[in-house]
Structure 1
Amino acid sequence: MTEPVFRFAPSPNGHLHLGHALSALLNVRASVALSGRFLLRVEDIDRARCTAELEREMFEDLDWLGVPLEEPILRQSQAFPRYRAALERLQDMGLVYPGYLTRAEIKRFVATYEAEGKAWPRDPDGAPVYPGDGAVLGEEERKARADSEAPFALRLDMTKALERIGQPLFWEETGAEGPALFAPPEEIPVAAEAWGDVVLARKDVPTSYHLSVVVDDAHQGITDVLRGKDLYHATSVHRVLQTLLDLPAPRYRHHRLILDEDGRKLSKSSDDTSLKSLREAGMTHRELRTRIGL
């Protein structure tokens, strides 16, 4: 039987919060319970927001939590050539195109469309599905942007991608904590069309979360992806990319979320739930585990 390999993959673009503590500790617990390994991955592709200071404080938080660190630690900022190679494979399949619409242009288009009493489709995160440049820009404007240095996002043509795959996809979903860790997996049907043409990279960054996460999970030999339920539906996109790139599919385990008083998932912008502020205020490990339900 293959040794289980789990990972925790935070981004040093803000302070870790209680939700991160839950995810990190559940991954550590699962790796011990299933006699596997636990790896840390630093998701720092956003070089503008991810800083050395935030990374240092992140490691202080993880040390306080008692999270073990196996060396070497993969940093996404050092893996850009690997992402670029994966992107080029998808481009060679004719599945990638540049999209020049800005967020403001998409917002105006959707507002105009819905002002007529029709509903524009949203992805599972609630964002408008990309309409395509042709729905908003005239031919001359599209050509002008393509010929200029205008910013763009490289997007996956989801319709073509699913046609190329040509068969239904599934992922294996099982439990994230307690006895459910040992439960047999359930096959969940992929519904990637709901996401539309997702971003794979941008003009100045050769990857996105969707692309880098599947490339990194395969590179590190991750067998079990244990992460928050807010990423449950994104698994459909990841299975499409894994299939197109001939990458192995891990088991998925989506854990409960820690919510604020208004029932919303925690944000790095809210300092009152950051691990840094809590440990500096004297919170003990027992108090932390009680607060996050462990």
Structure 2
Amino acid sequence: MTRPSSLKIACAVLFVLLCWAYSPTGIRLGLQGYAPTHLALARFIVASLFMAVIALLRGITLPRLRDVPTLLLLGLFAVSLHHVAINYGQRGVSAGAASVLAQSTPLFSLLIAHWVFKQVAGAWHWGCLLLGMAGAVIVVAGDRGLGQFDPHGLLILVAALSWSIYFALQKHHGHRYDALTITCYTVWSGTALLMVYLPGLLDDLGHAPSQANTAVLVLGVFPSALAYLAWAWVLRHCEVTRVTLALYLIPAFAMLIAAALLGERPSASVMLGGPLVLISVLALNLRPPRLPVQPGRQTSH
């Protein structure tokens, strides 16, 4: 297989960054006409239909029966819980702050790796964790103004925790399927779980302003579907550690998009706490925790 040019890869990475950076602004626009639960469901109905078309064109592997519970868990943590939490959180958190707090996923992944998978964490890792959490506290405590704590910010952290659980599950079980297949089943299973919120969705759809409906379509097609497919394509052609560094540009792009479409300006706490969160997760990724070495066995990488 011929490796694509650096320009094509760079364009694909930029496309992914813009899609995911738009998500906080799109959510804020969608919340103007939809309840948080209905917004999550409507967004992923669109994404599910789009992924169904892609699956028919490209072909995917049928799931094994024993993998169904795992696929449901992937959908729960990557789609249902993650997006319901982040939608409720953005009722009281600016788009810029939400994009920063969402980047705290590696901090929770460290805790999961240490406590669940028994990976060794040293002083460096715990220092990064404390620095990142301090940054998150600053963002949550002052996003709406100094001393104006809004608990909605904690829901964005719940969403980040949910995503880290998804990442751990996908890392340990996702190798059974290719990227397109696992993405399709994650989106579909998460959408199926969100169907409990179906009552009232049509009422929201009928009364929502056109701007909110447009946001739902954009969220469903771009951040929830095309961006994941583009990212999977990038990862097939590039070293993971190199391209993932680009993801730390998402908050900057998100703030620019929020400023352009919503007129938002990041608060002083976001400008102070945001870099602390990003520096901590970047430093954490430069020195990930290690699996303990056991006699007679090799560590896995």
The TM-score, its normalising length taken from structure 2, stands at 0.28
Whichever structure has more helix as a proportion of its residues is 2
Give TM-score, length-normalised by structure 1: 0.28
Which of 1 and 2 has greater Rg? 1
Q: Which has the higher contact order (CA 8 A, sep 6+)?
A: 2
More strand by share: 1
